[in-house]
Structure 1
Amino acid sequence: MFFVIERWESVALRPSQLGPEYLASVEALLRQQVEGKCLQSVGYVVCVIRVLQHLPGRIQDSTGLVVVAAKYQAIVFKPFKEEVLDAVITDVNKLGLFAQCGPLKVFVSRASLPPTYTFQEEDAMPSFSDGSLALRSGGEIRLKLLGVRFEASQIFAVATTNGDYLGPIEPRETSAA
């Protein structure tokens, strides 16, 4: 799920960054500091929309850097337990499969696949197949999150495909008009 949040963050400017481009330096450092980071409380910061407010900077005694507190607005991605997502399969092995949904890495264990799917190791690309549809690297899958774990720079999840409307997403055929 995507959200728009407002949050305060402190950035440290070098004395050379003070001057006419002061506000641009604050925004650039803020973007560099938070974009692409995973914050436990808010999720994965996709991008900073804008800086809403900044307080006057304070000089750090020991370093000479100017520390500025800035309030910003950002788009964050925070997946929740029981959420249904579409993902791209990145790896398949006999224990299950791994999929990617944006910054979220998902593992679907073999036990969380429908019982009709069996592991096909002898193919050129390993896959789980039920005879008509196959789950292999590069394919799309709809899954339901069972648990989500946040780490310093990544989000991991465990998911299942047991349920209505879950499983492989068949490629759509484009009709030539």
Structure 2
Amino acid sequence: MPPRRLGIVVVGLQARHKPSCLTLAAMFFIKELTHTILLHPSYFGPRMLNFLESKLYADVEGTCSGQFGYIIAVVSILDIGKGMVLSGSGQAEFITRYRAIVFKPFKGEVVDGVVSNVNKMGFFADVGPLQVFVSHQLIHPDLKFDSNSNPPSFASADQIIEKSTHVRLKIVGTRVDATEIFAIGTIKEDHLGVL
């Protein structure tokens, strides 16, 4: 299988090498991970390795692990272990080691996002795979909710926040579940808000 090209460009950042983690930016990391693949006996054969590789990509890319964050892309497969046949089912279990780009937000980081939903309580912004909620209490007091506008928006004399608006916000808190990350942000500080 030819190597896959990733549509990722990192400009002006210096990477620092760590034993199992390469830092691309404050919230993007290259991390060594493992994944267990169960393979049905019908896939045993000459193309088994290709199937294991494509199954690894399908299983892990785009998923979220509370411990490591969102797995954006598999960069390389380091090792596909020897399969162990499970008694009773005939399936083989393969433990694979791979290197992946992961996205994990941290408190205090400033990020750019696109507003996806606005209501009187605040708005939601999508920052890649992460959805950030900005409460009306963490929005600058000049921006007032306009319930009569269509679509709903927060507006001031010179700015308007509505669906599809690009905003810069600061993450003030995160909550990590087993399969999802939740974040709360603010645009109440200097240099934050509509881009």
TM-score (ref. length: structure 2): 0.83
Match of 2:194? Answer: 168
Deviations 1:40-83 (A, max 9, x none): 11100111122111221100112110001111111111111111
Structure 1 position 111 matched with structure 2 position 127: no
Structure 1 CA distance for aligned equivalents of residues 41 and 151 of structure 2? 56
Aligned pairs (5 A) from 1:92-171: 92-169=118-195
What residue is the counterpart of 1:72 in the other structure?
98
For 1:26, which of 52, 66, 91 is the aligned residue?
52
For 1:68 and 1:78, how far apart are their aligned partners in 2?
27
Work out whether residues 64 and 70 of structure 2, in 8 Å CA contact, stay in contact via their aligned partners in 1.
Answer: yes
Matched residue type, 1:117: L
Instruction: Give distance in 2, aligned partners of 1:107 and 1:160.
Output: 8
Paired residue type of 2:74: V
SS in 2 for 1:98: strand
C-alpha distance in structure 1 between counterparts of 2:184 and 2:139, whole Å: 12
Q: 1:63 aligns with which of 79, 89, 107?
A: 89
Tell me the alpha carbon deviations over residues 132-153 of structure 1, each in whole angstroms, 9 at most, x when there is no partner: 1111111011000011123354
- 8 Å contact from structure 1 (residues 141, 168) kept in 2: yes
Paired letter, 2:136: R
Structure 2: segments with no counterpart, 5+ residues: 1-26
**TM-score calculated relative to the size of structure 1:** 0.91
Question: What is the alpha-carbon distance in structure 2 between the residues aligned to residue 99 and residue 80 of structure 1?
Answer: 16
* Root mean square deviation of aligned Cα: 1.2
Question: Runs of 5+ in structure 1 lacking a partner?
Answer: 170-177
**1:18 & 1:49 partners in 2: Cα distance?**
25
CA distance in 2, matches of 1:164, 1:113: 11
Q: Which fold has the larger relative contact order, with Cα–Cα distance below 8 Å and residues 6 or more apart in sequence?
A: 1
